[in-house]
Amino acid sequence: MNIVEQIYETVKDLPERQATEVLDFAEYLKAKHPTSPTSSMPSEEARKLRAELRAWVTSQPEQPENASDFICRLRDEARD
């Protein structure tokens, strides 16, 4: 049983008020320590993918923004 299943098994029979407290705490932790999309990816692999993306973006005709700005915009849009 993984951790998510263990949490579910522990919380499923709690009264609504206590289950809400658990949910509030979990949401607090998630907001306090947001995970990045590449957090589970090895840094070398992430570096290679960023380099490939930059190369692809710069190879495209008539780019209204440079590769770094484009990547930053994609990151910002993904967070929203």
pLDDT value, residue 60 = 65
pLDDT value, residue 36 = 61
Is the pLDDT reported for residue 2 higher than 80? yes
| Residue bearing the bigger pLDDT, 71 or 5 | 5
What are the pLDDT digits (tens) for 19-75?
A: 888 888 988 888 888 776 545 677 888 888 888 888 876 776 766 667 777 788 888
- Domains of the chain, by residue range, sit at 3-32, 43-79
pLDDT value, residue 31 = 86
DSSP string for residues in the chain: --HHHHHHHHHTTS-HHHHHHHHHHHHHHHHHSPPPTTTTS-HHHHHHHHHHHHHHHHHSSS-SS-HHHHHHHHHHHHH-
Model's pTM, two decimal places? 0.41
